[in-house]
Amino acid sequence: MQHFEDSIYNLIVETSTNLPGDVRRAVAKGRALEDRATRSGLALTTIAQNIGMAEQQVSPICQDTGMPTFIIHTPVGINQIEMKKDIHNAIVRATKNGKLRPNSVDSLTGENSGDNLGAGTPVIHFEQWEEDNIDVRLILKGGGCENKNIQYSLPAELEGLGKAGRDLDGIRKCILHAVYQAQGQGCSAGFIGVGIGGDRTTGYELAKKQLFRKVEDVNPIEDLSKLEDYIMENANKLGIGTMGFGGEVSLLGCKVGVMNRLPASFFVSVAYNCWAFRRQGVLVDPSTGNIEDWLYESGTGISVDDGREQASESEVANAGENNAATGSREVRLTTPISEEDIRSLRVGDVVILSGEMHTGRDALHKYLMDHEAPVDLNGAVIYHCGPVMMKDEEGWHVKAAGPTTSIREEPYQGDIIKKFGIRAVIGKGGMGPKTLKALQEHGGVYLNAIGGAAQYYAECIKKVNAVDFMEFGIPEAMWHLDVDGFAAIVTMDAHGNSLHADVEKDSAAKLTQFKEPVFK
């Protein structure tokens, strides 16, 4: 199969850069339900713009290109060892060409392999079948949504829902709780795959396999079809909204599968996937390795703007529910930022940043706890971001640069804000009480950028000024970026207010309405 490596490379590029048609229609349907003059409406407008930019520029939809996971069915007699070598070569090519971010990290040393190869990466599942063609399916599931996967062992007592028993109603409660616990940290509005039964390992595997189903299919098992419909109707009543901003759309798809289990075990496993639902597949000729057909509809030509015009600049500036009452506004700031400017901000304000900002993720935050920073961070902005970067004779260039999930930095962030005089932190999903207290005491804000909007934000980055800690790997290095027109919403301010805490409290109260049995 002399062309198999090229076919896999093309599959990777298409999966990373072009959202499939069924996913685009789900996003458009969600947009139609959301008032575009709200924070969630603004987020969906940005998401729609980002989808188009990624396709046009053939660049990653999201900077976190995730763990490449392949499920491959082959006819008997195909050399799977050679296929695996070709897949590895294609992965290396795609990483070198900026279609994948180098994401394979040694769990003991923290060293990034730089090419997405390493023990356990990529994930490749081979299965034989009696068909003539090779079926190759790929999903790119980012770390932010992967971290919101959850597994329940029934019976269980669930917050707001009471006892979940070993029956269809207990499963229903688990799925609703899974959506609730994810909040906006998995880049809602998301898609979920659910696996009922199996053991702890096969349950999660079954859940992830559900994400390979088409969004618009119908479950052949009647009880599960009813369950999927119920979840889609009622999960959106939790009010979590896109990015956890509050709103009408928290879930865009739900697929449920079932397998047998041991008598003593009853697991419900939920695989949460972000709105940037990147999966694609191909049928391959086993004699040549050429692609014969694509298994999911291409997104090319399928709009996600739901027929409405794009939000105007004034609408973007005033995004936020009941803005006239809350006084939310657009504020333009240039770094370094003064404490006075920060304390004038309130939750709901849209901040447009210019000047230099600095990326920082897990490795950097751990380092800064015990060391000095390589640059002056007084009045600075830290961006929770692991960008996709490429280098040529002119230097480094940003290919994708959306925010990562901020809650991972909660153990460090408050101390680092106070130690270095940081005035603003940008990320997604919000942070906890320790950070909120530091923002109030020191005079800082948390700015929520739109998760997954990697092309939208990359366009705001005008120059890479410098980089430190390349030994941490490209995603974890400290990139010093010159930005202009970088927009994000204040969701935690210097006055002790947190939109994330408010939405979580509100959705917890709404969760209790689903406590009573539904399926007998």
- In 3D, which of 416, 419, 414, 452 has the Cα closest to residue 434? 414
For residues 2 and 289, give the distance between their C-alpha atoms in angstroms, rounded to a whole number: 6
Per-residue pLDDT at 317:
41
User: Look-up: residue for tokens 């969630």?
Assistant: 40
User: Look-up: residue for tokens 């014969």?
Assistant: 292
Contacts of 94 (CB under 8 A, 6+ apart): 9, 12, 13, 16, 100, 116
- In 3D, which of 192, 253, 249, 251 has the Cα closest to residue 218? 253
Burial of 313 by CB count in 10 Å (0-12 exposed, 13-18 middle, 19+ buried)? exposed
Q: Which long-range contacts (CB under 8 A, 24 or more apart) does 160-169 make?
A: 160/508, 160/509, 160/511, 160/512, 160/515, 161/511, 161/512, 161/514, 161/515, 162/515, 166/266, 167/519, 168/223, 168/227, 168/519, 169/517, 169/518, 169/519, 169/520
Per-residue pLDDT at 327:
56
Q: Which long-range contacts (CB under 8 A, 24 or more apart) does 314-320 make?
A: 315/36, 315/37, 315/42, 316/42, 316/45, 316/350, 316/487, 317/350, 318/37, 318/350, 319/37, 319/38, 319/39, 319/41, 319/42, 319/350, 319/489, 320/38, 320/39, 320/348, 320/350, 320/489
Alpha carbon distance, N-terminus to C-terminus of the chain: 53
Q: In what order do the strands lie in the sheet with 150-153?
A: 150-153, 267-273, 190-196, 251-258
For residues 470 and 27, give the distance between their C-alpha atoms in angstroms, rounded to a whole number: 37
At residue 323, φ and ψ (nearest 5 deg) are -60, -35
For residues 305 and 85, give the distance between their C-alpha atoms in angstroms, rounded to a whole number: 41
Task: Decide: 77 and 360 in contact? Cβ < 8 Å.
Answer: no
| Amino acid of residue 220 | P
SS3 431: coil
- In 3D, which of 82, 140, 134, 135 has the Cα closest to residue 116? 140
- In 3D, which of 478, 455, 483 has the Cα closest to residue 468? 478
Q: Cis omega before residue 286 (within 30°)?
A: no
Here the tokens at position 248 are 């009408």
User: Look-up: residue for tokens 């709780």?
Assistant: 177
Per-residue pLDDT at 113:
97
- Helix 410-420 / helix 433-442 crossing angle, nearest 10 deg: 10
Here the tokens at position 134 are 């090779």
SS3 485: strand
DSSP code of 115? S
Per-residue pLDDT at 322:
40
With a cut of 50, which residues of the chain have pLDDT below it? Answer: 308-326
Here the tokens at position 262 are 């041991």
For residues 419 and 405, give the distance between their C-alpha atoms in angstroms, rounded to a whole number: 22
Per-residue pLDDT at 319:
44
- Cα 237–243–249 angle (5° rounding)? 30
For residues 128 and 30, give the distance between their C-alpha atoms in angstroms, rounded to a whole number: 38
Per-residue pLDDT at 316:
42
Task: Decide: 400 and 444 in contact? Cβ < 8 Å.
Answer: no
- In 3D, which of 37, 20, 31 has the Cα closest to residue 305? 31
The neighbouring-strand residues paired with 440 are none
At residue 173, φ and ψ (nearest 5 deg) are -65, -40
Per-residue pLDDT at 311:
43
State pLDDT tens for residues 63-102: 999 999 999 999 999 999 999 999 999 999 999 999 999 9
Per-residue pLDDT at 306:
52
Per-residue pLDDT at 136:
98
